[in-house]
Chain A
Amino acid sequence: MMPDSSTSALPLPEPFQAFVGSDRPLVIPRGAPTMADRPAESENVVHAAWILQDVPDYRGLLRQWFGLLRIGGRLLIEVPHAFLCERELALPSQAHPERRRLYTPATLLGEIEEALEPNSYRIRLLRDHDDGYDYGADGEDEPPMGGQSILAVIERIERPEWCVSTGEVPAAPGPDFQFEPPRTRREIVALAKRRHIVILKLDHLGDFIMGVPALEKARAVFADADITLVVGTWNEAMARDLDLFEHVVGFDAFPRNSTEEKVDLAARIAAFEALLPGHYDLAIDLRSDGDTRFFLRHLVADVRAGLGTRVQFPFLDIFLPIDSSRHGFEAAAEHKIDHHGHTVMPPGRRSHYRLFYDADPIEPETLGMVYFVYGPYVHLSPGEYLYIPELEIDGDGTMLLHLDVACDEKSMGSALATSVHIPQFRFVVEEPGARFEFRIASLPDRPAPSFSFYGGRLLKRGASSVLHQSEYLSLLIELVRMRTDRFGLLRQDVAA
Chain B
Amino acid sequence: MSAIVIAPYSNSAIRDWPSGHFAELIGLLLDGWDDDRGLIRVIGTPSQRLRTNAIVRPHPADRVRNECGRMPWPAVVEELRRASCVIGNNSGIAHLAGSFGVPTVCIFGGSHQRLEWRPLGFNVTLLSRSIGCSPCHLDHGGRCGYGLACLADISPAEVAEAALATMARAAHNPGGRADRPRIMEEGIIA
* A→B interface (CB under 8 Å): 56-60, 110-111, 113-117, 166-193, 302-303, 317, 486-496
Question: Does B10 belong to the interface (CB within 8 Å)?
Answer: no
Q: Which of A114, A183, A190, A493 contacts B165 (CB 8 A)?
A: A493
Q: Which residues of B lie under 8 Å from residue A303 when comparing CB positions?
A: 184, 189
Task: Report B28 CB to chain A, min CB distance, Å.
Answer: 15
Q: Which of A57, A183, A191, A192 contacts B130 (CB 8 A)?
A: A183
Closest to B115 in A: A490
Question: Does B148 belong to the interface (CB within 8 Å)?
Answer: yes
Question: Does B1 belong to the interface (CB within 8 Å)?
Answer: no
A335 to B62 CA separation, bound complex (whole angstroms): 66
A177-B130, A185-B126 known; 17 new pairs, CB 8 Å cut-off, are A57-B61, A59-B57, A168-B13, A168-B18, A172-B146, A174-B132, A186-B158, A187-B190, A189-B120, A189-B122, A190-B122, A190-B181, A190-B188, A191-B181, A491-B189, A491-B190, A493-B162
Is A183 a contact partner of B61 (Cβ separation < 8 A)? no
Is B50 a contact partner of A113 (Cβ separation < 8 A)? yes
Q: List 28 A–B pairs whose Cβ atoms lie within 8 Å, in order of A's numbering.
A: A57-B61, A59-B61, A60-B60, A113-B50, A114-B61, A167-B141, A168-B148, A169-B144, A171-B148, A171-B153, A172-B146, A174-B133, A174-B149, A176-B131, A183-B130, A184-B153, A184-B155, A184-B158, A185-B126, A186-B162, A188-B169, A189-B182, A190-B183, A193-B183, A488-B120, A490-B115, A491-B184, A492-B188
Given contacts A59-B57, A169-B142, contact A184 B127 (CB under 8 A): yes
Task: Report A419 CB to chain B, min CB distance, Å.
Answer: 50
Given contacts A176-B132, A190-B183, contact A302 B162 (CB under 8 A): no
Q: Which residues of B lie under 8 Å from residue A496 when comparing CB positions?
A: 161-162, 165
Closest to B70 in A: A110
Q: Which of A175, A182, A185, A192 contacts B127 (CB 8 A)?
A: A185
Question: Does B150 belong to the interface (CB within 8 Å)?
Answer: yes
Is A172 a contact partner of B149 (Cβ separation < 8 A)? yes
A187 to B51 CA separation, bound complex (whole angstroms): 29
Given contacts A190-B183, A191-B182, contact A173 B127 (CB under 8 A): no
Is A166 a contact partner of B51 (Cβ separation < 8 A)? yes
Closest to B52 in A: A114
DSSP majority for the A interface?
A: loop
Q: Which residues of B lie under 8 Å from residue A173 when comparing CB positions?
A: 146, 149
Closest to A183 in B: B130
Question: Does B56 belong to the interface (CB within 8 Å)?
Answer: yes
Q: Which of A174, A188, A490 contacts B153 (CB 8 A)?
A: A174
Interface string of B122-159 (1 = CB under 8 A from A): 10111111111110000001101111111011110010
A169 to B19 CA separation, bound complex (whole angstroms): 11
Q: Which residues of B lie under 8 Å from residue A169 when comparing CB positions?
A: 141-142, 144, 147-148
Question: Does B118 belong to the interface (CB within 8 Å)?
Answer: yes
Is A191 a contact partner of B190 (Cβ separation < 8 A)? no
Q: Which residues of B lie under 8 Å from residue A493 when comparing CB positions?
A: 125, 162, 165
A172 to B144 CA separation, bound complex (whole angstroms): 10
Q: Which residues of B lie under 8 Å from residue A172 when comparing CB positions?
A: 145-147, 149
Question: Does B66 belong to the interface (CB within 8 Å)?
Answer: yes
Task: Report A111 CB to chain B, min CB distance, Å.
Answer: 8
Is B142 a contact partner of A302 (Cβ separation < 8 A)? no
Q: Which of A117, A185, A190 contacts B128 (CB 8 A)?
A: A185
Closest to A493 in B: B125
Q: Which residues of A lie under 8 Å from residue B120 when comparing CB positions?
A: 189, 486-488
